[in-house]
Structure 1
């Protein structure tokens, strides 16, 4: 409880705002932890942090890096559930926590099973939902799958829509969301990126030797379900480029998805300049991203982070919900077509003016103060 003394010396007692943040995957952790920390550091809030454990090992690394511990840890993946079972288990377990804690608002992020179940559990109890990174849309229900439909459904449950960009706001307005409920705040991933790149921690010798060698590093990541059948086309482009250019290297932290790993090991060149790595913790990955020459990815988060580091990004997807990055010139949509990826990579390697056209553009995803803005908006919402 807060005790406030007014000008006429009357004592007023204000109840703290109880906020429950629900996180389950590594990307959610990276993007939500700056906000969780901001809430914990503000005396107006009582902050409850729930980790569903959807990405247990990977998320635990992120929590350790940022020195944050959850109040509840569900460890749902110990049961090895299917996608529909993940939703059901999180919904049931979160409902128990909501009944116990009775938060004033529940915060969810993005488009995962944890996000959908968290928003639905709160809605069933008529608890307001705050959706971080609201309004992302491809308008293709199967791309990305199932994330696109998850985020659209969560939007229907949401009370406060925290959109990263004006484009995201426009998407929400087109779906008849009331404008007064939409707040353009930037993306919390930039808060996390600026925080972690300012740290001075040890890097494994294997990664350090890659970062410090004389080659141009091309960072590669692929994991999208909808791309699985076409990953060989992406890897064919990598094989061609590594053969044609002696001054480059590819660094590929491989996703845990067995289907992705099978294709990687079967398709990619065994050239010593193609470095296949296990998934990296966020600090090491951010250092690798910062040292790269450019990036080829189907990841959503990297499309937001890399422009803050002035790194060109070739997006290996047919469509992207980060359209403002395309419009700003920080991203280039190349799909999974072998020839397109090769041609765009050659332009980045051989045309300095083309390369610089990416890096001199403004990052449309924020200034590193998004968490502060969200905290202020939640305060105003409850004070009014």
Structure 2
């Protein structure tokens, strides 16, 4: 049974790697990684980190291309791939353009689609954009839905989907794998925090924060830097030129603000292990933070991961300067241990459950 895992971005690779590794252990299954190239630069190091390698590389990315151009290139390339290589099942993860188009191209060939991390919703089709539409679209054509949380499971059932399974989120599987690997082979981080001082890990890249929103976030970070003399802000700067220019202009050459290049996944896990708190607009990091006992300030107005907010692990602030400052002050004073937190996103067994379900549904008895 040929099972194609469509991977276009770093989060997809991280979350599908445990599924791929698990499927490889099942007799009669042939998982194949189809790398679209949507985030080519950010993918460096991911295959070696998880001991995986792409079986097909489509290389659709072009510098400065529009979302429509990317979508068109993906659809054409994946259509040809399906015609030439005839997968029996296509797995897509989350809500990227690669995931949506991967599902659509499979649908056009009447190939069953499995949706990993299904059922996340903000109920605002433009927030996040285009992810909210992408995951809803995948939901309409998927054959089987792998829900990461009870909330997502119930929502999919309410929408009328039948083949829905509660599995947990595979990112927890990935974290557990990587933490064990780092214990055996420690990584050197490209920054150092003096003994007795604290570190806040900061990431920002989403479209809704571009422009004035990003400037507001930077002003908040300037104030936080000025009022917390023992707190270092470590900010891996995203490759997007719109993000890089503003961040370097607003936050460059400041004491205790470390502007660094994108971290590899092992480095990111090591940084999360070292952090005192997290400031982010990333979806994946909201899921990873509870595994490290990290209070999280979410730089978004809406989140499809409200489980962390409801548990008090995360606080939604958008890009409002005062709200960011207040939330960081509160998170700075509270640093729970991971053992005190029940991770609402899974127990590290999601990939095993997904593989078992696939074997039950699609493999001959």
> How would you bin the TM-score normalised by the shorter chain?
over 0.9
Candidates 332, 338, 351, aligned match of 1:371: 351
CA distance in 2, matches of 1:358, 1:310: 4
How many residues get paired? 361
Alignment of 1:236-251 (within 5 A): 236-251=219-234
Give the corresponding residue for 1:77.
61
The separation in 2 between residues aligned to 1:195 and 1:322, in whole angstroms, is 23
* CA shift for structure 1 position 101: 2.3
Q: Which digits, 9 at most, give the CA deviation of each residue in 1:126-160, with x for residues without a partner?
A: 11100010011111111111111111111111010
**1:96 Cα deviation from its structure 2 partner:** 1.7
In the TM superposition, what whole-angstrom CA distance separates every residue of 1:29-52 from its partner, at most 9, and x where no partner exists? Answer: 111111111112222301121101
Preserved CA contact (<8 Å) 2:252 2:259? no
Equivalent pair of 2:277/2:332 in contact (CA under 8 Å): no
Bigger radius of gyration: 1
Tell me, which stretches of 5 or more residues in structure 1 are unaligned?
Answer: 1-16
| Corresponding residue for residue 199 of structure 1 | 181
> Residue deviations 1:67-110, cap 9 Å, x none?
21111011112576321121111111112221222222100011
Query: 1:76 aligns to what SS in structure 2?
Result: coil
Other structure's SS at 2:336 match:
helix
Partner of 2:320: 337
* Farther-moved stretch of structure 1 (97-106 vs 370-379): 97-106
Point out 4+ residue stretches in structure 1 off by more than 6 angstroms: none
1:167 aligns with 2:156: no
Equivalent residues in 2 for 1:30-41 (5 A)?
A: 30-41=14-25
Corresponding residue to 1:224 among 206, 212, 218:
206
C-alpha distance in 1 between matches for 2:250 and 2:63:
32
Report the counterpart of residue 128 of structure 1 in structure 2. Answer: 112
CA distance in 1, matches of 2:84, 2:76: 13
Moved more, 143-152 or 87-96: 87-96
Residues 110 and 18 of structure 1: CA distance in aligned 2, closer, same or farther (over 3 Å): same
Tell me the CA shift for residue 170 of structure 1. Answer: 2.1
What aligned pairs does 1:319-358 form with structure 2 within 5 A after superposition?
319-350=302-333, 354-356=334-336
Root-mean-square deviation (CA), in Å?
A: 1.7
Unaligned runs of 5+ in 2: none
TM-score if structure 2 supplies the norm length?
A: 0.94
Q: Return the offset for 1:55.
A: 1.0
Instruction: Measure the CA separation in 1 of the matches of 2:45 and 2:5.
Output: 18
Alignment of 1:246-285 (within 5 A): 246-268=229-251, 270-285=253-268
Contact 1:163 1:169 in 2 (8 A): yes
CA contact (8 A) 2:294 2:336 kept: no
Counterpart Cα distance in 2 of 1:93 and 1:205: 37
Shift, 1:360, TM fit: 2.1
Distance 1:122 1:147 in 2: 19
Deviations 1:5-62 (A, max 9, x none): xxxxxxxxxxxx2211111111111111111111122223011211011111221321
Q: 2:12 aligns with which of 22, 28, 35?
A: 28
* Distance in 2 between residues matched to 1:359 and 1:322, nearest whole Å: 21
1:49 alignment partner, one of 17, 33, 55 = 33
